Structure 1
Amino acid sequence: MNRIRRTAGAAAATVALTIGLGLPTAGTAHALSSRTFSWNSPMTAGDCTMFEGARWTLYSDGTATFDGTVTSGDNNDAWLMWARVKDANGAVLGTLTNYNVQDRSDWTKFVKNLPSKTQRYRWFASGRFNARLYPLIRRMSLSKHC
């Protein structure tokens, strides 16, 4: 009877992993650490503006999320952004890569298309970085182009 229970447990684990549910592990009991970097004043590049309150949140597993609002004074523009992580001295540790690569020649470029000059666009993006750098990250910088 004991042998049947163990086999059934193993079978349930195999099914759970196969369909992507996963099983709880000791690692899932711990929440990810995060650091949020916000820009409290508008940024401009050409005809484009990114409004105050834009923020990157970096997680200890090497993932990152962006939330910001952008617009342009011209139709059919695009906001281009590159995000760098830095240490306490301002030295560049690395550049975030875009989770949804839009330009295969530059995986570090984030792009938000701005079709109408009369609209503000909420921009959500996801990125990645080397998780081993997380303890060293104290600052971020953005390069931008419109």
Structure 2
Amino acid sequence: MKAIRRTAGALAAALALALPTTATAGASTLEQKTYVWRGYLSAGECTMAPGTTWTLYSDGTARLDARVSSLGDEDAWLMWAHLKDAGGALLGDIRVYGSTSTKFVKNLHDRRTYRWIAKGQFDPDLFDLVKRMSLSKHC
């Protein structure tokens, strides 16, 4: 009976070593910081609703979750997300994921409200320094 237990334990250990680590498992260990805007943001005829959230991850990725709308048709919400230190000094801007552009764009039509999910990236060396965020916007 002891031999069977030892063999089963050795087999389980060998299988555990052979299995690859998934991105999901690695992602769960990332540190994150979340910034939530409590009020409405507006520019021209465009509005971003309260609850707009930027989540920053220690690997240098970022995620936007927002609701945007416009009173007009054929508008676009343009936004730049600024990372700042504790004293308010600019550290850098979030870039559109896979791009060098720092301008996030959401086209708006027909007076509808849109859920806007976007991915961004920033220098991961800045993660520990980021204590504040601000947004520049245009419609």
TM over 0.5: yes
The aligned residue for residue 111 of structure 1 is 105
The aligned residue for residue 126 of structure 1 is 119
2:51 is the counterpart of 1:57? no
Q: Shift in Å at residue 100 of structure 1? A: 5.4
Q: Shift in Å at residue 28 of structure 1? A: 3.5
The aligned residue for residue 69 of structure 1 is 67
> Within 5 A, what are the aligned runs for 1:68-107?
68-99=66-97, 101=99, 107=101
Q: Distance in 2 between matches of 1:94 and 1:39?
A: 19
Unaligned runs of 5+ in 1: 1-8, 14-21
- SS of the residue corresponding to residue 41 of structure 1 reads coil
Q: Distance in 2 between matches of 1:59 and 1:145?
A: 26
Q: Shift in Å at residue 67 of structure 1? A: 0.2
Q: Distance in 2 between matches of 1:51 and 1:128?
A: 23
How much is the aligned-residue C-alpha RMSD, in angstroms? 2.2
Question: What is the TM-score with the length of structure 1 in the denominator?
Answer: 0.77
Q: Shift in Å at residue 116 of structure 1? A: 1.2
- SS of the residue corresponding to residue 117 of structure 2 reads strand
Q: Distance in 1 between matches of 2:96 and 2:70?
A: 22
Paired-residue identity, %: 51
* Larger radius of gyration between Structure 1 and Structure 2: 2
Of 132, 136, 139 in structure 2, the residue corresponding to residue 143 of structure 1 is: 136
Q: How many residues align?
A: 121
Structure 1 residues 100 and 74, CA gap change in structure 2 (3 angstroms) = farther
CA offsets 1:65-92 (integer angstroms, 9 cap, x no match): 0000000010010000000100000000
Q: Distance in 2 between matches of 1:132 and 1:34?
A: 13
Question: What is the TM-score with the length of structure 2 in the denominator?
Answer: 0.81
Q: Distance in 1 between matches of 2:80 and 2:27?
A: 33
Runs of 4+ more than 3 Å apart: 27-30
Q: Distance in 2 between matches of 1:62 and 1:129?
A: 5
